[in-house]
C-alpha cells in the first residue's frame, strides 16, 4: 500500500525520575540502577519504533521530516549526555528534522547536567520546559519536589537567552492559609526570560495526603483568573486553557494535538494519534504493545469541538449551517454565557471563544450545547 498520510510530529516518553512527587500520576519510576534502566529503555524505544513502523505501513502512514518533537516524562533531562549520544545514532535512517522544527525537552531543575543539556542542544533541542511549579520553597516541600529554589536559579541562569517555558501549578495545599504571592512568582519568571507558561491546577484523588489542605474551588478559580490577568497584562496570550505565550512563542507541538493533527508516540505509556483515520494508540507501561482506539466520525467531530474550545481561536464559524431554530437556541445560550463572563469579549458570536473563567466551565458549556442539540 502506498503511504497516503504523512506524520511530522513525535512525542517520546522518558519514564525515569530522581524522586517521586507526591501528587504525580504520570508513568514514571525511580530506578535502582540508572545505567541499566537507560539501556533497557533504549531497547524498548527500538522495539516501539519497529512495531509502530509496521503498523503505520499497514494503515498507510509514513514519517515526513519532523516539524515538532517533544520529550516528556518522567524527567527526560535525566537521559543526559549518554542518552543524547544514543539518540543521535537512533535518528540515523529513522528521523530527520524539518527546516523550522521545534524540539522541546522537559527539564526538572534538579535533574540536569551542563554536559547533557549541551549535547542535546547540539543534536537539535531548541526549546525547554522547566518544571518550576512554584517560586515559594514551602510549596516545593509540600509537593515533595526534589528541587530547591537554588536549583531553579541555576537553571534560569543556564537558560538565559534560550526559548523556554515554565510549568506552574495552582490550587496547591495551604495556598489560601499561606497567601501565595502569584504576582511575585510570575513576574520574577517573566523577568528571567520565560516566554511561555503552562499552568496546571493540581489534580489529585481524595486519598491525597494533603487533600484536606487544598483550597476551595472558588479560591482555585480566583488563582486561575488572577494568573491569566497577570500574564495578559505582561503581553502573554492566554491561547489555550492551561497555556500562555508571548507572540511567536506558542507551543507548536501541543497545538498539533489541539488541532487534531497526527502525532506519533514512542516510550512506555506514550499516546499517539493519527489523522485523518482517527486511530489513537497508547503504549502499555511494561509490555512492548500498544492499545488501539478507533474513533468513529462522530467521536472525531465531538473531539474537534472539545479541543477547539480549549484554544483562543474557539469554534470557528460555529453558527454556519445552523437552522433558524438552532440559531435562536444558540443565541439564548450565548447571552447567558456572556452575562456569566464566560465569553471572550474580543471575539465574535459566530466563533464561540471562551474567556479565562469560561475555560474553567468548558464541560458545562459543552453539556448545554448537547442539550440544545447544537452538537451531537
Ligand X SMILES: C[S@@+](CC[C@H](N)C(=O)[O-])C[C@H]1O[C@@H](n2cnc3c(N)ncnc32)[C@H](O)[C@@H]1O
Q: How far is the CB of 96 from ligand X (least distance, A)?
A: 27
In the complex, which residues of this chain contact ligand SF4 (CB under 6 A)? 17, 20-21, 24, 26, 28, 73-75, 108, 131
Residue placing its CB nearer to ligand SF4 in the complex, 68 or 75? 75
Residue 157 and residue 118 in contact, taking contact as beta carbons nearer than 8 Å: no
Binding-site member from 8, 52, 68, 75 for ligand X (CB under 6 A):
75
Q: Considering the rule CB under 6 A, would residue 169 count as an interface residue with ligand X? A: yes
Residue placing its CB nearer to ligand SF4 in the complex, 84 or 169? 169
x/- letters, 20..39, toward ligand X (CB under 6 A): ---xxxx-------------
244 burial (CB, 10 Å; 0-12 / 13-18 / 19+) is: buried
Binding-site member from 186, 202, 270, 295 for ligand X (CB under 6 A):
202
CA dihedral of 241, 245, 247, 251, whole degrees rounded to 10: -80
Residue placing its CB nearer to ligand SF4 in the complex, 52 or 75? 75
Distance (Å, whole) CA 207 – CA 323: 48
**What are the DSSP E strand ranges found in the chain?**
5-14, 61-73, 97-107, 127-133, 164-170, 196-201, 237-240, 243-245, 264-266, 271-274, 279-283, 290-294
Copy the grid coordinates of residue 39.
539501556
Q: How far is the CB of 266 from ligand X (least distance, A)?
A: 16
| Residue matched to cell numbers 481561536 | 313
Residue placing its CB nearer to ligand X in the complex, 72 or 356? 72
Binding-site member from 67, 102, 136, 167 for ligand X (CB under 6 A):
167
- Which partner in ligand SF4, ligand X, none is near 286 (CB below 5 to 8 A by kind)? none
Q: Report, in angstroms and rounded to the nearest whole number, the Rg of the chain calculated over CA atoms.
A: 22
Residue placing its CB nearer to ligand X in the complex, 204 or 375? 204
Copy the grid coordinates of residue 105.
525537552
x/- letters, 87..116, toward ligand X (CB under 6 A): -------------------x-x--------
Local structure of residue 181 (DSSP, 8 states): -
Mapped onto helix, strand or coil, the DSSP state of residue 79 is: helix
Positions touching ligand X (CB under 6 A) are: 23-26, 72-73, 75, 106, 108, 131, 133, 167, 169, 200, 202-204
Amino acid at each position: 500500500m502506498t503511504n497516503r498520510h504523512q506524520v511530522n510530529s513525535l512525542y517520546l516518553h522518558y519514564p525515569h525520575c530522581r524522586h517521586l512527587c507526591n501528587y504525580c500520576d504520570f508513568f514514571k519510576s525511580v530506578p535502582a540502577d540508572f545505567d541499566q534502566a537507560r539501556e533497557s529503555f533504549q531497547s524498548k524505544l527500538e522495539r516501539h519504533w519497529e512495531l509502530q513502523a509496521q503498523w503505520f505501513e499497514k494503515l498507510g502512514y509514513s514519517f515526513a521530516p519532523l516539524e515538532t518533537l517533544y520529550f516528556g516524562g518522567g524527567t527526560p533531562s535525566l537521559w543526559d549526555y549518554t542518552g543524547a549520544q544514543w539518540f543521535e545514532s537512533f535518528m540515523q535512517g529513522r528521523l530527520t528534522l524539518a527546516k523550522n522544527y521545534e524540539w522541546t525537552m522537559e527539564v526538572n531543575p534538579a535533574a540536569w547536567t551542563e554536559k547533557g543539556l549541551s549535547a542535546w542542544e547540539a543534536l537539535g533541542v531548541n526549546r525547554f520546559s522547566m518544571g518550576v511549579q512554584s517560586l515559594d520553597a514551602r510549596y516545593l516541600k509540600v509537593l515533595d519536589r526534589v528541587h530547591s529554589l537554588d536549583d531553579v536559579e541555576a537553571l534560569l541562569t543556564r537558560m538565559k537567552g534560550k526559548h523556554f517555558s515554565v510549568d506552574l501549578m495552582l490550587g496547591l495545599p495551604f495556598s489560601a492559609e499561606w497567601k501565595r504571592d502569584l504576582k511575585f512568582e510570575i513576574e520574577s519568571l517573566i523577568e528571567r526570560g520565560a516566554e511561555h507558561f503552562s499552568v496546571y491546577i493540581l489534580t489529585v484523588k481524595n486519598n491525597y495526603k494533603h487533600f484536606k489542605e487544598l483550597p476551595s474551588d472558588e479560591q482555585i478559580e480566583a488563582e486561575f483568573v488572577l494568573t491569566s490577568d497577570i500574564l495578559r497584562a505582561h503581553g502573554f496570550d492566554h491561547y489555550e486553557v492551561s497555556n500562555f505565550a508571548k507572540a511567536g512563542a506558542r507551543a507548536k507541538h501541543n497545538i498539533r494535538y489541539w488541532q487534531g493533527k497526527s502525532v506519533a508516540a514512542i516510550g512506555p505509556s506514550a499516546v499517539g494519534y493519527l489523522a485523518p483515520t482517527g486511530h489513537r494508540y497508547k503504549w502499555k507501561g511494561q509490555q512492548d504493545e500498544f492499545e488501539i482506539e478507533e474513533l468513529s466520525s462522530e467521536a472525531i467531530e465531538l473531539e474537534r469541538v472539545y479541543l477547539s474550545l480549549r484554544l483562543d481561536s474557539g469554534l470557528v464559524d460555529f453558527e454556519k449551517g445552523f437552522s433558524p431554530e438552532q440559531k435562536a437556541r444558540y443565541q439564548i445560550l450565548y447571552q447567558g454565557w456572556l452575562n456569566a463572563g464566560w465569553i471572550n469579549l474580543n471575539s465574535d458570536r459566530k466563533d464561540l471563544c471562551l474567556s479565562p473563567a469560561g475555560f474553567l466551565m468548558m464541560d458545562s458549556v459543552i453539556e448545554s450545547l448537547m442539550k440544545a442539540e447544537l452538537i451531537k
